[in-house]
Structure 1
Amino acid sequence: MEHFIVSARKYRPQTFKDVVGQQAITNTLLNAIENNHLAQALLFTGPRGVGKTSCARILAKTINQDENEHPDEDFAFNIFELDAASNNSVDDIRSLIDQVRIPPQVGKYKVYIIDEVHMLSQAAFNAFLKTLEEPPKHAIFILATTEKHKIIPTILSRCQIFDFKRITVTDAKNHLMQVAAQEGITADEDALQIIAQKADGAMRDALSIFDRVVSFSGKNLTRQAVTENLNVLDYETYFKTTDLILENNIPQLLIEFNEILSQGFDGHHFISGLASHFRDLLVCKNQATINLLEVGQQTKAKYLEQSQKATHAFLIKGIELANDCDLKYKTSRNQRLLVELCLMQLASILVDGEKKNDKPYIIPPSYFKEKGIKPVKISSEVKEKALEKTETEKQNNTLSQVEEKIESSATTVSEITQNKDVKSDIQEDNPESTITTETPVAVEKKPGLIHRERRTSGLSLSSIKRKKEHEENKEEQIIDPKNLPKEKFTESQMQGAWIEYGKMQDKKGERIIGSMFAMNIPTLDEDAIVLELPNQSMKVDMEAAQSGLLQFMFKKLKNYSIELKIIVNEEASKKYAFTPQDKYEKLREKNPLIDKLRSSFDLDI
């Protein structure tokens, strides 16, 4: 059996040109080597599998090559790799420092590659500082890490930092196509696209997934084989689900979701993928953002086709509902019901006040064709005009009926004017009374009948005319503060109004404020209400409720000069009964016979 080498090792980059997706960094390193401008301490940082260690090895090999050297010479004697995850002590760093002093036997530079440098201990970092700042001229240090934030700032300040980025889906897919061609494997573009997306920006992960799928499907790599092996939902699943949502076919939608669950897929994975699918459809709605869609050409054509069926408002609402379901999924006790409810809401989204599948015909056109009747589509404008006509007819009928009743009543214009004058005089004497727009009409009373005050209808044309004339002749009334009522009231009246207001607050649900009014009864000092409270916090709460209280007191006591004075007395808290003994003393003060009851039955407090 021939020894198998995984693709991640077999196709590991040997030159800077082979590095995928890091052109900015590789060009910078090449220019630094050519111009003899290379720093002696470099820090490569970035996600896993993006080429940090590969670039370090290529750099170590490149700087030692001469024109006479063979390109395949690896200069293994000049390259030292140290895994800081297992060699992170001070002794390991001291051993490294001792080796640095010895110049290279072959080549110009000795290169020390320290991988996972963030795993070094604090003491090891401190021991490494001096050597890293002033290394010998033949030594170059390349530090590689995935977690730059764990490295102490004194180390970062001594290094030239290169941030490696995640490899894009397109670059990873193109590299996989080259690998598949060299291996003699026929692969669908969509299949490699799914592998690249699953790798999440790591080329090593993409090659590992590629090997696994090839072992499953052989030399022919199809999209169906990839989705089955990687346990990911296919694009077709989301296209079919979206079509059912747009058709408002809730029963079939629930059946489709049940089939997805029966295949072993997680509901959380499905709903998050559906949100991403809506996002991709939204991206396709505009030519400026269509390049953000990272799919193959065939799949892109399907996205463009389906995006024409869905409106912009529907996609925005769909993303919102799916994202909300995604957030609630982990905390939900019935996760399947949560997803099914989300799907039903998606299929019931209203767009511009009408459902997505709203049809212009209430009865199908086939029914009219069978009867020999040509179906007519009624536009919204015709419907509105018909409704306006109906409302106008109803209003005219009502107006005519009301006018007939008013004309039959024994009401004269002079009596109406007199009533207005009397009413205006009453309003001037009593500013609290409100001005009503309806005018009372005098009706001839007949014996044996119950008479109610008749008022002119607001729908009568004559009534509207009279009201208009009244509004024109009415002068704006300005309330003078001096004319506000200031009737005298007693302390018992004030306390009764106080308790009444507290009960009103309690009914509204303001339990704390209501209890404060019940427990603290104020006293009267002329027109000032004096309230004594035991602490400052109760005073703050009472001041917050002061505005509504005073408005109530003004109207209840008919005195607009009332003031509220709040005094904080810390000793007042002693009158409250907190312990059982205090409560017993309170009860005994109210009824001394309770002491006799306790002694007769030998009760404990």
Structure 2
Amino acid sequence: MADSTDMFGAAPEPQDAGSSAAELEAAGQGAMFGEPVAAAIPAATPVSAPVPVAAPVAPAQPYRVLARKYRPQTFSALIGQEAMVQTLANAIRRDRLAHAFLMTGVRGVGKTSTARLIAKALNCIGPDGQGGPTIDPCGQCEPCRAIAEGRHIDVIEMDAASHTGVDDVREIIEAVRYAAVSARYKIYIIDEVHMLSRNAFNALLKTLEEPPAHVKFLFATTEVDKLPVTVLSRCQRFDLRRIPTTLLAQHFAHVCKEEGVEAEDEALAMVAAAAEGSARDGLSILDQAISHADLAGSGEGETIRVSAEQVRDMLGLADKTLQRRLFAALLAADGPALLEEVAHQYALGIEPVAMMRAQLDLVHKITVTQISGPEGQARSAEESAALEGWAADLGAGQLHRLWQLLLKGHDEVRTAPDPLVAAQMSLLRALHAAGMPDPGGLVRKMEEMLAQAPALAAAAAAAQAGGEGAPAGATGLVPGASANANANANAGIGVGAGMDWEGLVEQVEEISPLTGATMRLSVRLIELRRGTLRYQLAPGLPGDPTADIKKTLQGLTGEMWLVERLDGEAAAGALPSLVEAKQAREAEAEAAMRADPLVRAALEAFPGAEILDESNPATAERRPWQPARSRQA
């Protein structure tokens, strides 16, 4: 009966060695029937006094991480999801509750917490036990407390990652037929529902489409694209958004206040940025930062203080300084400093592909800073100041060119046999191209040169008027004019009324291409009348085409023709051939174009540049690997 005495706090009594078995048996029977044990013991046996026992000490509660301790217990504590809360509030208020809800979003934004809050909102009965569904569950009634503690018999939470088969779904199908035991609704919360197998989804479809009135399904998933469309169409879907960085920082400040921890605003901003929109990730980082600050030297009784410097070291943000230093060397076109920074980072264990990725990330942050400011792009005041400075100094064209060069370099480094060498060459290529002006800047520079050099405009006007700078032999040739106009401009050359030399050559080319080509290329017109043609033959053509020209003209017009070739003084004043006239017009146009101030500035900015005419096969073939640029007259 030692156990019986222990129940009341008394110490077990020692047994006398001389006591008989009968006495011991009598003592046992007396205890069995509730009689005092001392009555069955001989008077000679001394009875020891009760020994006082200290009150039992309650076991210490284990530490709960911040992510679990500050899990939202009401919809008002759920941050960043106001649209979903408003929708649910209206649905509950108007009694328009769906039978299945689907919460989707990235990790740590409140999907499972929202599902539990919905279960509490639907089953809350209020402190007085008379309440109904509400968007503000009391948290005091038995259903609210049981759901919060995970012990409510009618709220079944299942992890689909470990219950993926048809048998698990079959248990749900069998159980939904029975009404809730003590709650208003029987609720099934299936987390990571995308892990269910295809057969399991198919088995659930019919029940999900027409469940009993007392059953609600709450699904949560991070990969909604893996769910069948047939399941999506049967659920009311809520896309939980990433929580903004500023809102996370405010939430973390509230948590630090509750925990009695002092934290710098910059430190909380860096933690919020590192969380990437996830409250759970941010609370885990904050938990680590508080532990790091405590280990850094806060003594017993002192207030823990989380500083930005400690958070920066903990998150490894000191490496950002190396990235900015490398980018600064690239922009300054300092090749030796760039190679030294690459070697330094490589010695620290940073892979070349990670260097390129970091430079790409920096260019992206600067570009976004130009448009919307550094908020959300920087994790420290130093980085924010650097981004703002580069955003003000660099043009959009330079940043986009750097992005393309670094992106190409990243692909090269990833596939190169020696990544370090590839990274060096890629960064040096970007270094040499970083200082080149963008097209917009080049145009502005040309406009400035034009404003500062009015003499160039005057020279261009003189060249266009046929003055100094016009090519020799181009005087009097008007682009597009016929032979009649040219003949009228040259004394002593007669052209009959209605006679068009170029038109006549075109007709000859239709019936005799060889003769027509000869007339266009080598015949310099002296006199053209009806039935009469006198010309000078341009040098370089062997033989005498007079007979062929005469025969072709007679066949074309049906009349006799006098075709005579003249040389020496008789040929003085002959017009250039049609080809020579065309070449003269092109030379004049090109001279006028080169005299234009903008073109002249462009040629000075790019020594060795050429003007190519894409309509001319001769010039187009000179650069077969490079698209020809149209010449603007």
TM over 0.5: yes
Q: Which of 234, 239, 253 pairs up with 1:158?
A: 234
Q: 1:241 to 1:55 in 2, by over 3 A?
A: same
CA distance in 1, matches of 2:410, 2:306: 32
Contact 1:169 1:294 in 2 (8 A): no
Deviation string for 1:262-321 (max 9, x for gaps)? 3333332332232232222223334xx337753368344442233222222211211111
Question: Residue 229 of structure 1: SS of its match in structure 2?
Answer: helix
Give 1:435-474 correspondences, 5 Å limit. 435=520
Question: Residue 30 of structure 1: SS of its match in structure 2?
Answer: helix
Question: Residue 74 of structure 1: SS of its match in structure 2?
Answer: helix
Give identity over the alignment, percent: 30
State the shift of 1:467 in Å. 8.2
Q: 1:229 to 1:472 in 2, by over 3 A?
A: closer
CA distance in 1, matches of 2:217, 2:471: 97
State the shift of 1:163 in Å. 1.9
Q: 1:79 corresponds to which residue?
A: 155
State the shift of 1:161 in Å. 1.7
Give 1:200-599 correspondences, 5 Å limit. 200-218=276-294, 219-232=304-317, 234-286=319-371, 289-290=372-373, 293-295=376-378, 298=381, 299-348=383-432, 349-352=434-437, 430-433=515-518, 435=520
CA distance in 2, matches of 1:3, 1:305: 49
Q: Which of 258, 261, 264 pairs up with 1:182?
A: 258
Q: 1:398 to 1:312 in 2, by over 3 A?
A: closer
CA distance in 2, matches of 1:122, 1:225: 48
Q: 1:159 to 1:305 in 2, by over 3 A?
A: same
Deviation string for 1:384-443 (max 9, x for gaps)? 969x99xx9xx999999xxxxxxxxxxxxx9x99xxxxxx9999783344855898xxxx
Deviation string for 1:461-501 (max 9, x for gaps)? xxxx96877669989xxxxxxxxxxxxxxxxxxxxxxxxxx
Q: 1:91 to 1:118 in 2, by over 3 A?
A: same
Q: 2:82 corresponds to which residue?
A: 23
State the shift of 1:118 in Å. 2.1
CA distance in 1, matches of 2:107, 2:190: 15
State the shift of 1:60 in Å. 0.7
Q: 2:100 corresponds to which residue?
A: 41
1:195 is the counterpart of 2:271: yes
Q: 1:2 to 1:467 in 2, by over 3 A?
A: farther
Q: 1:66 corresponds to which residue?
A: 125
Letter in 2 for 1:337: V
Question: Residue 211 of structure 1: SS of its match in structure 2?
Answer: helix
CA distance in 2, matches of 1:334, 1:467: 71
Q: 1:344 to 1:177 in 2, by over 3 A?
A: farther
State the shift of 1:253 in Å. 2.0
Q: 1:472 to 1:254 in 2, by over 3 A?
A: closer
Deviation string for 1:5-30 (max 9, x for gaps)? 22211111111122232221122122
CA distance in 2, matches of 1:399, 1:5: 91
Letter in 1 for 2:64: I
CA distance in 2, matches of 1:321, 1:8: 42
Q: 1:259 to 1:215 in 2, by over 3 A?
A: farther
Letter in 2 for 1:343: L
CA distance in 1, matches of 2:145, 2:339: 61
CA distance in 1, matches of 2:454, 2:182: 93
CA distance in 1, matches of 2:354, 2:269: 19
Q: 1:474 to 1:346 in 2, by over 3 A?
A: closer
Letter in 2 for 1:99: A
Q: 1:473 to 1:170 in 2, by over 3 A?
A: closer
Q: TM-score, normalised by structure 2?
A: 0.55
Q: TM-score, normalised by structure 1?
A: 0.58
1:14 is the counterpart of 2:73: yes
Q: 1:22 to 1:267 in 2, by over 3 A?
A: farther
Q: 2:300 corresponds to which residue?
A: none
Q: 1:56 corresponds to which residue?
A: 115
Q: 1:226 to 1:331 in 2, by over 3 A?
A: farther
Question: Residue 111 of structure 1: SS of its match in structure 2?
Answer: strand
Q: Which runs of 5+ in 1 are unaligned?
A: 361-377, 401-413, 418-423, 440-452, 456-464, 476-507, 509-605
Q: 1:454 to 1:40 in 2, by over 3 A?
A: closer
State the shift of 1:335 in Å. 1.6
State the shift of 1:56 in Å. 0.4
Question: Cα RMSD between the aligned structures?
Answer: 4.7
CA distance in 1, matches of 2:208, 2:470: 97
Kindly name which structure, 1 or 2, has the bigger radius of gyration based on alpha carbons.
2
State the shift of 1:454 in Å. 11
